[in-house]
Structure 1
Amino acid sequence: MMFRKPAELLEIKMVLKDWIPVIRRYSGGGTVIVDQGTIFVSFICGKDAVPGLTLYPHPIMTWSGGLYNEVFKGVGDFCLRENDYVFGDHKIGGNAQSITKSRWVHHTSFLWDFKFANMSYLKLPKQIPKYRLARNHLDFICCIKDYMSRSDFIERTVQATGSQFTLQSAGLEAVEAQSNTKFSPMSKILTRQDLQAALVPA
């Protein structure tokens, strides 16, 4: 979620009652429900990984939109709209970025599927894209599964990425074994005390 107060984004009482874990991710971005219906795609790149790419949010978004145009070619009515990936005027993916002098991260939470009940944990954010038009969550989003199979989506994403980069398949264990850098997570799991404190007016 973005670096805003949890009470602005979440129905805190429901989250506490149902023991829903809440993570504040280092890259910010909108609030995302994470379950078996979420597909994550992340690009973690050095500054020169994409020739000619200016390392600012909008150019990276534009580059990613071009890549996913290939993934969804002939499927739905895909486009990059403001900072979202959409079919028509329905959101299928949200994005977050982190950019430093030497590298950048662009990651997407794709709505392969979602459970209607889980949307009740989210509040309508104060800052919304213009195309949303104050629609509630269920009228604003749609599922990729209604347009293509999961395996087809993954295969197309790998193929489109392969047109930009040289790919090599590797498991997490192999990646960790090759790294000499100690991983220090920057995202934070909010405690129940953090969430309870958010209920108290400042």
Structure 2
Amino acid sequence: MIYVPVMSLDVYHNFGLEYYLMTEHHFNEPVFMLWSTTPTVMLGKYQDAAAELNVEAVKRNHVKVARRYSGGGTIYTDQGGCQFTLIYPDDRTEIDFSSGLELIQKALNQIGIKATTDSRNDLVVGGRKVSGSAQYVTSGYKLHHGSLLFESNLDLMNQLLNVDPVKLAAKRIASVHQRTVNLNEQEPSWTAADFRENLRQAVYDLTSFQEYHLTADEQARVAEIGQQRFADPKFIYGRQGQGAFQVKRYFQGGGLVKIAYSIYHDQLADVHLTGDFFSNLDAVKFEHALDGTDYDRRRVSNVIRDQLAEDPILGVDADQLVNMLFDHV
């Protein structure tokens, strides 16, 4: 395993570093990174920023907004926690959190924090969430990244994030705060820096990783990617739709799926797919494939099956999406 030290607290730079290591500097063995950010909210690939964020609270508290290339939900990060990234050679395209979560779970256990896996992508301590994960793939490589709460500002997190009532009801909780906990409850004598160093050392003990330091030219390229790809407001805020109909459902093991659409002359139009689900699906391609399709269950089903054949949605099948478009009318 290779360990790449990350000093930057800028989320755009750090997402740029992930992308660079996924697409331009390939290692033949897994790469591991630990990093932190200034106060930031990170949107999932398929989410609508206007629906997920309390925009006024974000502005008032000078919080950065970023969007991941991975699916899943919106998270809050700050210097009181840390992010972990695992990049490894893998030709499989399906979403699978087991290997990445296993390493982090073992490392946490080694430093005295008894974490277990829960549902599709979380680590929990005492039944409360301390870590969420997400993934995306490129040709021959898979990236698994996640967050770890240590002494993060959970009150601010609660102000910044709008969580859909459908999702809260499915999880039988009243707020995000109710389900999350900081790890400093387990180790109150540690600082956030202590936690990161102890975790780094535990991963070293488990893997005997070797450090790799980027050259100045590589650092410049990473900064360029960060600004061009991840700091672009169109990329961050672009997932918005205004269909005449809006349907949403929470699927256990799949997440929240929202579909906005209109019907003109008995055909689908203005289709817009959002949510906190996991997939490698190209949402724009999916939407364009449905636009102009006759509003007929069989024809819509055929289009959706074709789109999901190559890039399925984890925990959600074609029939469930078809039902969303027809059963509420």
Give me the TM-score of the superposition, normalised by structure 2: 0.48
The aligned counterpart of 2:99 is: 63
Question: How far apart are the structure 2 equivalents of 1:21 and 1:47?
Answer: 32
**Greater Rg over alpha carbons, structure:** 2
What RMSD in Å do the two structures reach over aligned CA positions? 3.5
The aligned counterpart of 2:122 is: 84
Deviation at 1:130, TM superposition (A): 8.7
Mark the runs of 5 or more structure 2 residues left unpaired by the alignment.
Answer: 1-42, 244-329
Q: 2:108 aligns with which of 60, 63, 72?
A: 72
Question: How far apart are the structure 2 equivalents of 1:37 and 1:26?
Answer: 23
Deviation at 1:103, TM superposition (A): 0.7
Q: How does 1:160-171 map to 2 (within 5 A)?
A: 160=203, 162-164=205-207, 166-170=208-212
8 A Cα contact 2:168 2:174, kept in partner: no
Q: How does 1:21-100 map to 2 (within 5 A)?
A: 21-47=64-90, 56-58=94-96, 61-73=97-109, 75-82=112-119, 83-100=121-138
Residues 54-105 of structure 1: per-residue CA shift (max 9 Å, x gap): 55322xx111232233223274541111211111321101112111231111
8 A Cα contact 1:71 1:153, kept in partner: no
Question: How far apart are the structure 2 equivalents of 1:126 and 1:92?
Answer: 21
Larger strand proportion, structure 1 or 2? 2
Q: 2:145 aligns with which of 87, 102, 107?
A: 107
Aligned length: 188
8 A Cα contact 1:9 1:123, kept in partner: yes
Larger helix proportion, structure 1 or 2? 2
Alignment partner of 2:100: what SS?
A: helix
Question: How far apart are the structure 2 equivalents of 1:79 and 1:120?
Answer: 28
Residues 15-69 of structure 1: per-residue CA shift (max 9 Å, x gap): 2344432111222332122221120111122228xxxxx55322xx111232233
Structure number with higher relative contact order (C-alpha < 8 Å, ≥ 6 residues apart):
1
Question: How far apart are the structure 2 equivalents of 1:38 and 1:27?
Answer: 20
Amino-acid identity (%):
18
8 A Cα contact 2:113 2:186, kept in partner: yes
Q: 1:147 aligns with which of 179, 182, 186?
A: 186
Q: How does 1:113-128 map to 2 (within 5 A)?
A: 113-115=151-153, 116-125=155-164, 128=167
**Residues 46 and 126 (structure 1), Cα distance of their counterparts in 2 relative to 1, 3 Å cut:** farther
The aligned counterpart of 1:14 is: 57
Residues 156-190 of structure 1: per-residue CA shift (max 9 Å, x gap): 444335534x51234xxx31347499442333453
Letter in 2 for 1:78: A
Question: How far apart are the structure 1 equivalents of 2:217 and 2:49?
Answer: 37
Mark the runs of 5 or more structure 1 residues left unpaired by the alignment.
Answer: 49-53
Moved more, 92-101 or 145-154: 145-154
Alignment partner of 2:58: what SS?
A: helix
Letter in 2 for 1:12: V
Question: How far apart are the structure 1 equivalents of 2:94 and 2:233?
Answer: 29
